[in-house]
Structure 1
Amino acid sequence: MHRSERVSMYGWIWRHLPGNTWVRALVSLVLSLAIVFVLFQYVFPWAEPLLPFGDVTVDNGGGSR
């Protein structure tokens, strides 16, 4: 497999961002922060009731110390 055939997702995104290296880095940072914001504001609260994290039981009896 030639190097040109192994295209990474990140390389493809980087090549399609506008501007020089500094502008691309700034756009990447803004996009990353926007994705994190959307995840914390909308996706995680929506998914939380679907996850079994509230069904945890802790046994207080006779474990080793």
Structure 2
Amino acid sequence: MYAALWRLLPGPTWLKVAQALVLVALLTWALLAWVFPAVEPHLPFDRITVGD
């Protein structure tokens, strides 16, 4: 999968590295902005109990 993505990116190696870093940054931003806030209410992090 990563090799296919690498082949799809245009340009020399330095440009491919820059594009890959930008793609990772955009993916991280999208996850933190939309996906994680949408999933967080369904996670059990607020129902913590300590044994009696």
Give the shorter-chain TM-score range.
Answer: over 0.9
Greater relative contact order, per chain length (Cα 8 Å cut-off, separation 6+) = 2
Match of 1:37 among 15, 23, 29: 29
Off by >4 Å, runs of 4+ in structure 1: none
Residue type at the aligned position of 2:14 = W
RMSD between aligned residues: 0.9
Structure of larger gyration radius: 1
- TM (norm. structure 2) is 0.93
More helix by share: 2
CA–CA distance in structure 2, aligned partners of residues 43 and 33 of structure 1: 15
Aligned length: 52
Structure 1: tracts of 5 or more residues without a match: 1-8
Structure 2: tracts of 5 or more residues without a match: none
